[in-house]
């Protein structure tokens, strides 16, 4: 497992394998899974809770590795991803495939044996959905890839909840929906200012297929749906005032930034600035929303 660079043989090291797991994405997965676990009624032994979160993180890493194995050539066409281990030539594709399959089998197996098989089953399906349904089918074939594929990133809080309770009820379904409807405005704001990169790679992202105006309309529309879904746990009495007020403020800010993206067509620089602001805030939005939900549920317990 070596490559030749300036006639020197350089082996892939642990940092390359770590990069395959997409650690930045994994951090969000781990956090939302932890919030789902903390929001669930009842309790779980700390060791089992840690094991569940570790398995979810490992499963997310498996998804990232399998995604990069399949998209190695495509990643090489994009500036944002050209430095990854496979397109940069630091690792063989077969090694990435074996690494991804190994992580997937380990995470699902340990989750099933140590925690429960419902959470293990949802984890297995989430890995399959991201690596096969999204990566191999949706992403290269439809501009709605992010809409449907958003389900892949919405499973972690459900898995965390199921690890504690052994079931799935309305609140974890709403947590799933929150991430699901957050995903389109989050990724389409990125796609707007990275449209040339996606175009070079031949990925049918919405701005490249339907145009920037249609994408901005979709972002603004989905932001209203997101706000409604985010407020439902409070309106249905599943959370208290802490989460309700936090969700209200967060969604007002999100709508304001989405509106700025919707109307920002004066100059390319102004549009890009608005798009980057929404993308950056959307990440903070999800962290704060889930933290408030978990804390609120813990205070109510």
Residues in the chain: 301
User: What pLDDT, on the 0 to 100 scale, is given for residue 83?
Assistant: 92
Distance of CA 247 to the CA centre of its chain: 20
Would you state the structure tokens that stand for residue 100, as one six-digit string?
């991804």
Residue ranges, comma separated, of all CATH 1.10.357.140 domains in the chain are: 13-167
CATH architecture of the domain formed by 169-301: Up-down Bundle (1.20)
User: What pLDDT, on the 0 to 100 scale, is given for residue 98?
Assistant: 97
Instruction: Compute the distance between CA of residue 174 and CA of residue 229 in angstroms, rounded to an integer.
Output: 7
Instruction: Compute the distance between CA of residue 65 and CA of residue 131 in angstroms, rounded to an integer.
Output: 9
| Tens digit of each residue's pLDDT, the chain (301 residues) | 434 333 333 567 899 999 999 999 999 999 999 999 999 999 999 999 999 999 999 999 999 999 999 999 999 998 889 999 999 999 999 999 999 999 999 999 999 999 999 999 999 999 999 999 999 999 889 988 888 888 999 999 999 999 999 999 999 999 999 999 999 999 999 999 888 888 877 888 999 999 999 999 999 999 999 999 999 999 999 999 999 999 999 999 999 999 999 998 667 888 899 999 999 999 999 999 999 999 999 998 7
Alpha-carbon distances, residue 240 vs 230, 235, 292, 298 (angstroms) = 13, 9, 10, 10
User: What pLDDT, on the 0 to 100 scale, is given for residue 146?
Assistant: 87
Contact 155, 63 (CB under 8 A): no
Q: Which residues pair with 10 in a beta bridge?
A: 3
User: What pLDDT, on the 0 to 100 scale, is given for residue 3?
Assistant: 40
Residue ranges, comma separated, of all CATH 1.20.120 domains in the chain are: 169-301
CATH superfamily, region 13-167: UbiA prenyltransferase (1.10.357.140)
Would you state the structure tokens that stand for residue 80, as one six-digit string?
């944002």
Instruction: List CB contacts of 54: < 8 A, sequence separation 6 or more.
Output: 110
């Amino acid at each position: 497992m070596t490559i030749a660079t300036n006639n020197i043989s350089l082996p892939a090291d642990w940092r390359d394998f770590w990069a395959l797991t997409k650690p930045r994405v994994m951090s969000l997965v781990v956090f939302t899974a932890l919030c789902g676990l903390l929001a669930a009624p009842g309790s779980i032994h700390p060791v089992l809770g840690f094991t569940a979160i570790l398995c979810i993180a490992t499963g997310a890493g498996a998804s990232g590795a399998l995604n990069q194995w399949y998209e190695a050539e495509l990643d090489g066409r994009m500036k944002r991803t050209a430095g990854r281990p496979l397109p940069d030539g630091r690792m063989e594709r077969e090694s990435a495939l074996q690494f991804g399959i190994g992580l997937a089998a380990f995470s699902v197996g340990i989750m099933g044996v140590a925690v429960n098989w419902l959470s293990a089953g949802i984890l297995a399906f989430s890995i399959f959905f991201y690596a096969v349904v999204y990566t191999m089918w949706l992403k290269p074939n439809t501009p709605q890839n992010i809409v449907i594929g958003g389900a892949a990133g919405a499973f972690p809080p459900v898995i965390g909840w199921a690890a504690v309770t052994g079931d799935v009820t309305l609140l974890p379904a709403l947590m799933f929906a929150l991430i699901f409807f957050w995903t389109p405005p989050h990724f389409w704001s990125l796609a707007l200012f990275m449209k040339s990169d996606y175009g070079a790679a031949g990925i049918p992202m919405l701005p490249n297929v339907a145009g920037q105006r249609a994408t901005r309309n979709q972002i603004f529309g989905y932001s209203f749906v997101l706000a409604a879904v985010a407020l439902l746990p409070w309106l249905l009495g599943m959370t208290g005032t802490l989460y309700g007020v936090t969700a209200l403020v967060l969604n007002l800010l999100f709508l304001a930034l989405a509106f700025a993206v919707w109307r920002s067509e004066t100059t390319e620089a102004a549009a890009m600035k608005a798009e980057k602001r929404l993308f950056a805030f959307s990440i903070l939005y999800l962290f704060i929303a889930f933290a408030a939900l978990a804390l609120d549920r813990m205070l109510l317990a």
